[in-house]
Chains A and B, each alone.
Chain A
Amino acid sequence: MAFTSVQFVVFLFLAATSYFLTPKRYRWVTLFLVNYIFYFMAGAGYFIYLLATTITIYLAGVKLGNMSAKNKADFAAAKGELDKEQKKAWKGNFTKKKRMVLIPALLFNFGILAVLKYYNFVGANLNALLERFSIGAEVPVYSFLLPLGISFYTFQSVGYLIDVYREKYEPERNLAKFALFISFFPQIVQGPIGRYHILAEQLYRPNTFSYERVKFGIQLMFWGAFKKLVIADRAGVIVDTIFGYPDTFGGTYVAVAAFVYCIQLYGDFSGGIDIATGAAQVLGIQLEKNFERPYLATSIPDFWRRWHITLGAWFRDYVFYPLSLSKFFMKVGKKGRKVFGNYIGKLLPVLIPQFIVFFLIGIWHGAEWKYIAFGFYNGTLIVLGILFDQPLKKLMEKFHIKTECYSWRLFQVLRTLILVALGKIITRAPGVSASAFMVHSMLSNWDGDILINGGLLKLGLDVQDLWVLLFSSLVLLTVSLMQESGIHVRETLSKQNLLFRWIIYLAAIFSLILFGVYGLNYNASDFIYRGF
């Protein structure tokens, strides 16, 4: 059920109506049922995977909770008789015991994800290797169907379990409530990845109907649909044409494709997130922010703080910090100082985990070499950024370059945008070698004339469509700049006179109806991140 379909609108309407008509005490039960109906409608076959994750994480969470409670009691009783060393040993033993619960649960759930998402990739590469060395064996390849939102709900539930393991909060002891947390229908498809301590309470409490909130939610959904149907899917026509025929469209076309793909991907993904957030808002639930004007970022790390925020935060909390602060990387840091000197050695516990995180973010996007290359590309940029941060600062001081002015910020934004767009070529091109070919073509055959001599009209959009794309992208940019300056667009709009507001609302609705890319003349395109 696509977010931009009538079925979804009808589903949300029925879900919200039944939710608000349910007695307050049982509203969470209605929400739980609605989620499961939604997931069931996406494909009954997928259900087993969701149930497996729900049950294993729930049981592991409860077990860890029980162990912690018992440990606390036992420790409190024995504390007086233990010296410092014994206390440390006690703690170490208990951590080991907890790991005996945590690690199998993680392996099981990441195992499902790995098998469904990466088995064939690994198998195909192994087969290629076996063939190369003329070994007469073959890894069988299966056609797995990826369950809806598996990457998102796996990460969400695993995050919960690690937090319980860290005793950040008590585990959820009601299975149905826990299942509700894992399966909230607006966010299960493509995020944002929710945190238990932020999301669960909102799901379990009896939210009441609020006209203002529902209105804001619907407005956000419209805005998301506008970004998806008017901007992203229209931009997608150009992107598909150029990336589909890299031999035909080289040179400047590659730069156009990379830039337009940036617009498409942002419109597509953030549009989907806006619809999810708006739908949740209708039900009284505030999802976490997943985007913060990423193309206004001034550096690559800044970009990743603004793009897919919940995924970045997940990797930061559950991969980067545990790695960076681990004993192993502390030792690496110490040894590094001896070998590479103080500056680099001190950075090693940060640099290597950063690299690992971006490698993982790369493969999270898909089981293809190009995503691994994308991870390395970003990891390399970030590592280089950290390494050269101080030397560059000194250089700028030496040349008296002002960094507290608008022009410097503009330079930073454009530089970051170009680097991001180059990264997008890697993920969108048919393969790593194709992306290398395209980048080489862009750098060696630059021909700016195509931008003014009608060359853009060869890309599948006519003049009117190009104008719509340009104008709607400018609307998106304007809104982004307003938000960046701290203006809350919906709240500001709600304070205007009725006539002005209604003109804006109607213009927005009819822009969507008239300029949206949907219907038989276009190929229906699914949300890109739904596939991750």
Chain B
Amino acid sequence: MKGSLKIVTRCVAFFVIFSMIFSNTSDYLRRPDDESDEIHAFYDEPKESIDVLFMGSSPILRGVSPMVMWEQEGFTSYVRASALQPTSVTYGLLQESLEYQTPELVVLLCDNIFLEYDYVEREGDLRRALDGMKISKHKFQIVNEITAADDRQTLLSYMFPLFRYHERWKEVDWAEAEPTPLMEHSFKKGNVYLRGGEPLAFSDNFMEPSGIAAPALNQDARNDIEKSIRLCKEKNIPVLMIHLPKMSWSYEQSVALENFAKEMGVEYLDFDRGEIRSQLSLDPALDYYDQGHMNLIGSVKLSQWFGDYLDETYDLPDHRKDETYQRWHEDYQMYAERTKVE
């Protein structure tokens, strides 16, 4: 018995030391990524403290600034998005997010419903989202879907990214290397803004009916979005489906998405259509980073209008005078400082 105890103690001690070195090595060799950091920093938000969750891919990641909305309207929000995020990941992230927060509203960006996602080619994009997620049954679910589609990718490498980035030992300058663990707290609340961009212009017939049918909705993506909406409905959380400004968008796509939203019984808001577009009055020469994304100026403009719309439509709470939300004021100060025009 004494001998067994000694063996167990030794095994546990060895495992603890191994885990510490493993974790530290992972931090040294991790591929630093803003999006993974922002997805991870979500866990630092106090439970049941977020009023609005923004889910989807890069247009929402770049275009929506929770801090602008906080400063203007006083409600809290978080963007859990990443570039070219497949709808399956969005669904998994939403499931996981709703275990930490019960928001007043979930905003879903659904542009990718037209995409047939290529798990083989998009490994880098998948990792932006998944490397930031903690190990959970939802992460398992997503990774299982990925590995079923691409057997070169492994569950182990998603759960422990060191198994993916191990060969980065060659790239690291060990004399000056510092560990770069995933970010614990974010002052941007999931928003990863972009500065600058090329001056652009809308095409003459942008968002005018072209008579060309919109591409069909991808069945897998549609299923994922349906599951996401059903999940929110089960938890009595209203869903707002949106499309954010994008020059490579068509009237027919917008109508197709609107019809899908109607079918699902949720609101739909298209920022490239009629009244909203004129109210927003985005300047293509100043507000766009590229054809599909807002830059920082555009995101502030968009978030001001959107924050106002959400506050009025969904009657969201104002926490600005609530002392328990003091950290949000500090985060805003940081945000304001960092986003100052240089």
A, B from the same assembly = yes
Which of A498, A510, A524 is within 8 Å of B152, CB to CB? A524
A6-B154, A506-B17, A520-B152 known; A513-B163 Cβ under 8 A: yes
Cα distance, A505 to B154, chains bound together (Å) = 25
**Complex contacts, A520 vs chain B, CB 8 Å:** 123, 152-153, 157, 164
CB within 8 A of B21: which of A506, A515, A518, A521? A506
* CB pair A462 B167 closer than 8 Å: no
B140: interface (CB < 8 Å): no
- Chain A contacts for B157, CB-based, 8 A: 519-520
Q: Is B14 close to A, CB under 8 A?
A: yes
Residues of B within 8 A of A519 (CB): 154, 157, 163-164, 166-167
Closest residue of chain A to B162 (Cβ to Cβ) is A513
Q: Which residues of B contact A513 (CB under 8 A)?
A: 22, 25, 162-163, 166
Q: Mark A497-532, 1 if CB is under 8 A from B, else 0.
A: 010001001100110011110111100100000000
Task: Check B149 for interface membership: any CB of A closer than 8 A.
Answer: no
Question: What are the interface flags for B147-185 relative to A under an 8 Å C-beta threshold, 1 for contact and 0 otherwise?
Answer: 000001111110000111011011000000000000000
A509 (CB) vs chain B CBs: closest residue: B18
In chain A, what residue has the closest Cβ to B167?
A521
Q: CA separation between A114 and B152, bound complex, in Å?
A: 33
Residues of B within 8 A of A505 (CB): 14
Indicate with 1 or 0, residue by residue over A427-462, a CB within 8 angstroms of chain B CB atoms.
000000000000000000000000000000000001
Chain A residues with Cβ under 8 A from B255's Cβ?
none
Is A464 positioned at the interface, with any CB of B under 8 Å from its CB?
Answer: yes
Q: A211 within 8 Å of B by Cβ? A: yes
Q: A519-B164, A519-B167, A520-B164 are in contact. Are A514 and B153 (CB under 8 A)?
A: no
Expressed in whole angstroms, the Cα–Cα distance for A510 and B20 within the complex equals 12
- Quick check: is B7 within 8 A (CB to CB) of the other chain? yes
Selected from A462, A509, A516, A524, the residue in CB contact (under 8 A) with B166 is A516
> Which residues of A lie under 8 Å from residue B167 when comparing CB positions?
514, 519, 521
Report which of A462, A502, A515 forms a contact with B14, defined as CB distance below 8 A. Answer: A502
Query: With A and B bound together, what is the CA distance between A510 and B166 in angstroms?
Result: 10
State in angstroms the CA–CA spacing of A506 and B123 once bound together.
Answer: 30
Mostly helix, strand, loop or mixed at chain A's interface? helix
Q: From residue B127, how far is it (CB to closest CB) to chain A in Å?
A: 10
In the complex, what residues of B have CB within 8 A of residue A6's CB? 154-156
Distance between B150 CB and nearest chain A CB, rounded to angstroms = 9
CA A355 to CA B212, docked complex, whole Å: 76
Residue of A with least CB distance to B168: A514
From known contacts A506-B21, A519-B157, infer whether A211 and B7 are also in contact, taking CB-CB under 8 Å: yes
Complex CA gap A234/B195 in Å reads 43
Interface residues on chain A, size class: 20 to 34
Residues B170 and A462 in contact, CB atoms below 8 Å apart: yes
- Cβ of B18 and Cβ of A506 under 8 Å apart? yes
- CB nearest neighbor in B for A215: B7
Distance, CA A6 to CA B156, complexed state (A)? 8
Contacts of A524 in B (CB 8 A): 152
Nearest chain B residue, comparing its CB with the CB of A517: B167
Q: Provide the residues of chain A in CB contact with B21, threshold 8 Å.
A: 506, 510
In contact, A514 and B166 (Cβ under 8 angstroms): yes
A462 to B171, CA, bound (A): 12
- Nearest A residue (CB) for B160: A513
- Min Cβ gap B177→A in Å is 13
A211 contacts which chain B residues (CB < 8 A)? 7
Which residues of A sit under 8 angstroms from B169, Cβ to Cβ?
Answer: 464, 514-515
A520–B18 alpha-carbon span in the complex (Å)? 24
A516 surroundings in chain B (CB, below 8 A): 166
Residues 287 to 304 of chain B near chain A (Cβ within 8 Å): none
Give Cα distance in the complex from A510 to B21, angstroms: 9
Which chain A residue lies CB-closest to B154? A6
Most buried by B among A462, A506, A520: A520
Q: B164: nearest residue on chain A (CB-CB)?
A: A519
A464 to B123, CA, bound (A): 26
Q: A residues within 8 A CB of B14?
A: 502, 505
Most chain-B CB neighbours within 10 Å: which of A211, A464, A518, A519?
A519
| Proximity bits, A1-29, B CB within 8 Å = 1, else 0 | 00000100000000000000000000000
C-alpha spacing A521/B14, complex, angstroms: 30
Q: Give B124's nearest chain A residue, CB to CB.
A: A520
Chain A residues near B17 (CB-CB < 8 A): 502, 506
Docked CA distance A514–B160 (Å): 13
Residue of A nearest to B6 (CB): A211
Least CB separation from A5: chain B residue:
B154
A510 B25 Cβ-Cβ under 8 A:
yes
A505–B15 CA distance with the chains assembled, in angstroms: 11
> Could you tell me which residues of chain B, from 207 to 231, have a CB within 8 Å of some CB in chain A?
none
| Cα distance A498–B163 in the bound complex, in angstroms | 28
Interchain nearest-CB distance for A200 vs B (Å): 31
Residues on A with C-beta less than 8 A from B25 are 510, 513-514
Q: Nearest residue in B to A502 (C-beta to C-beta)?
A: B14
User: How far is it, in angstroms, between the C-alpha of A521 and the C-alpha of B157 when the chains are bound?
Assistant: 12
Name the distance in Å between B162's Cβ and chain A's nearest Cβ.
Answer: 7
In the complex, what distance in Å separates the CA atom of A509 from the CA atom of B15? 12
B149 to chain A, nearest CB (A): 14
B1-35 with Cβ < 8 A to chain A: 7, 10, 14, 17-18, 21-22, 25
Which of chain A's residues have a CB closer than 8 A to the CB of B156?
Answer: 6
Instruction: State the Cβ distance, B175 to closest chain A Cβ, in Å.
Output: 15
- Of residues 184 through 232 on chain A, the ones whose CB sits less than 8 Å from some CB of chain B are 211
Least Cβ–Cβ distance between B12 and chain A, in angstroms = 13
Q: Which A residues lie within 8 Å of B170 (CB)?
A: 462, 464-465
Chain B residues with CB under 8 A of A521: 167
What residues on A are CB-neighbors of B18 within 8 Å? 506, 509
Q: Which residues in A have their C-beta under 8 angstroms from that of B163? A: 513, 518-519
CA distance A464 to B156 in the complex (A): 25
**Which among B7, B123, B154 has the highest number of chain A CB atoms within 10 Å?**
B154
B164 CB to nearest chain A CB (Å): 6
Task: List residues of chain A with CB within 8 A of the CB of B154.
Answer: 6, 519
- Separation in Å of the A472 CB from the closest CB of chain B? 14
Instruction: Report Cα–Cα, A520/B167, bound state, in Å.
Output: 10
Give Cα A514 to B156, complex, Å: 15
| Distance of A505 Cα from B10 Cα, bound (Å) | 13
Bound CA–CA A506/B167 (angstroms) = 18
Give min CB distance, A261 to chain B, whole Å.
Answer: 23
Chain B residue with Cβ nearest A523: B152
- State the Cβ distance, B205 to closest chain A Cβ, in Å: 43
A524 to B152 CA separation, bound complex (whole angstroms)? 8
Give the complex CA separation of A464 and B25 in angstroms: 18
Sampled A-B contacts (15; CB under 8 Å): A502-B17, A505-B14, A506-B21, A509-B18, A510-B25, A513-B22, A513-B25, A513-B163, A514-B25, A515-B166, A515-B169, A518-B163, A519-B164, A519-B167, A521-B167
Q: Which 6 A-B pairs have the closest CB atoms?
A: A464-B170, A6-B156, A514-B166, A514-B169, A211-B7, A520-B152
User: What residues make up the interface of B, taking CB atoms closer than 8 Å to A?
Assistant: 7, 10, 14, 17-18, 21-22, 25, 123, 152-157, 162-164, 166-167, 169-170
4 extra interface residue pairs, beta carbon distance < 8 Å, beyond A502-B17, A513-B163, A519-B154: A513-B162, A513-B166, A515-B169, A521-B167
